[in-house]
Amino acid sequence: MFRRLFFAASLCFSMQLAVSPPSAAQEWKIYGGDLSSTRFSPLNQINTSNVNRLTVNWVFQTGVPGKFEATPLFENGILYFTGPGGYAWAVDARTGRVLWNFERPIPSKIGLCCGPVNRGFALAGNRLITVTIDAHVIALDKRTGALLWDTTMADYTKGYSATAAPLLVKDKVIVGMAGAEFANRGFIDAYSVATGERAWRFWTIPSPGEPGSETWKDGKNFWQFGGGSTWGTGSYDPELNLVYWGTGNPGPDLNSDVRPGDNLYTNSMVALDADTGKLKWHFQFTPHDTHDWDSISEPILADVNINGTPRKVLLQANRNGFFYALDRTNGRFIYGFPYVHQTWAKGLDQNGRPIVVPGMEPTKEGKVVCPSLGGGKNWNHAAYNPQTGLMYVPSAEGCEKFFIDDLPEPEPFRMWMGSIHETIGTTPQWGAVRAYDVRTGKLAWEFKTITPERGSALTTGGNLLFIGDSQGYFTAFDATNGKVLWKINTGSGSGRGGGVSAPAITYMLDGKQQIAVIAGQSLFAFQLLEP
């Protein structure tokens, strides 16, 4: 069932590098860069004065079709990353030479809304842990690619799948699931790193009698198909021992007749005790969502002075078009504002609840609403730089027409959305990279793009911001003012290449700072050209 390709030199190579491990700041061992998901690196060898000398060091072509959205991890001279369709690789960071590769076949029939993507590994000692598109959690030996354990999360024949990189928290990996379009019930799981045994589960849709169940006012027990997928990766505050995780849309997506009420805990941020999975607080961004505006975007954690008071904040650019700052100790709303053009809400009240414009629900004739179903920002990552105090948000501008239709009974492998949506030509589709001062929520700068910005951000101590786009460009900005300092066309923007939506990472190798990013189906490594 499994196939691995080994290179004899890989084990010796790993052992040689392990003699003198580099510091944490010189590696990239966590999906979001750190447990706070800032995607900030303090490395500054590559900076605003020399980034124009950045050049390609090597390119590894995977030869695997499909869209790549993974964040590579780097440790001891080796890059580890995943691809769509059950593939994974370990690559020599000096040369791009493959050390091992792994392939796990996926079932021939599976319910997917958005392709067999995978966003990466969690690194735990000698284990690399990831999820599979048929809703398993697996651990590989990082030295050889050998399978160490394989645990079933859920039954893929019931529409469950998984795409997000796990989050390592102490001796557990926290994972999410996908599949809200197939009439299932969402959850967040924790598994033992050592054995793969499940430690706890938090259901994102409460069962009858549990807190939050009163927000599902139906008579057919449709809460069992209520959605609330958890297909993003969360964050962790060690001081508070809280895991923060965003949840997705309720089901069915657009036809809400069978689910009156706010539909907790969909479209929410939940804070869970890391040891037990117990809910400590929640904040719902879009009550009774009818536009598929998942709230799975990364929760960025920062310590910020707001109005002269130090605050422990959680920041999120939500798919519904609003930017939020929450108190991460208790979930209380601090501030919020629209960061893209939106037409569905007049604003947010003092508690952060949207003041909904009447008549914005989908109709049989179709209702034009902004933002589009893809939202102001989808899964692609923002970044926060504590040196500039700015959060960098890849933004998508545009509207869509939302329809409602008759709702069939749930069936395996059939999408259960309740209708469709379509792009319209009456409003332009474009995008921007926007930088916000997180102390005030004020826009510091923006760079407009000709298509919705679906790239992911990396920011560094060299006062740089790196981000890709769907045209295939990978660009470096001055993080303070947004000036373009360097860019390269990776050749991935045409056909099915998908452009550069995957997040970049940075690390030190042999005393030189490197940048790595997946563009299309290839892994690029960059370093400075010697003057």
Catalytic residue (one of 134, 262, 292, 294): 292
Q: What is the DSSP letter of 266?
A: T
**Beta pairing partners, 446:** 434
Q: How far apart are CA 361 and CA 293, in angstroms?
A: 13
User: Tokens representing 260?
Assistant: 């009156």
| 3 state SS for 390-418 | EEEEEEEECCEEEECCCCCCCCCCCCCCC
User: Tokens representing 437?
Assistant: 């001062």
* Angle at alpha carbon of residue 113, lines to 152 and 431, rounded to 5°: 125
| DSSP per position, 426-481 | SS--EEEEEEEETTTTEEEEEEEESS-----EEEETTTEEEEE-TTSEEEEEETTT
| 3 state SS for 507-525 | EEECCEEEEEEEECCEEEE
Q: How far apart are CA 452 and CA 499, in angstroms?
A: 12
User: Tokens representing 442?
Assistant: 């004020």
Q: Tokens 């996908």 label which residue?
A: 178
Total residue count of the chain as it appears in this document: 531
The H-or-E segment that residue 16 falls in is helix 9-17
Torsion of CA 465, 321, 225, 219, to 10 degrees: 160
Torsion of CA 291, 328, 216, 400, to 10 degrees: 0
The helix/strand/coil state of 315 is: strand
User: Tokens representing 521?
Assistant: 């189906």
Q: Tokens 């650019």 label which residue?
A: 317
Are the C-beta atoms of residues 273 and 280 closer than 8 Å to each other? yes
Strand order in 421-423's β-sheet?
A: 367-369, 400-402, 421-423
Are the C-beta atoms of residues 135 and 177 closer than 8 Å to each other? yes
Q: How far apart are CA 327 and CA 99, in angstroms?
A: 44
Q: How far apart are CA 274 and CA 241, in angstroms?
A: 6
Q: Tokens 């080796």 label which residue?
A: 78
Q: How far apart are CA 526 and CA 488, in angstroms?
A: 11
Q: How far apart are CA 431 and CA 499, in angstroms?
A: 15
**Beta pairing partners, 323:** 317, 337
Active site residue 292: yes
Active site amino acids: 292
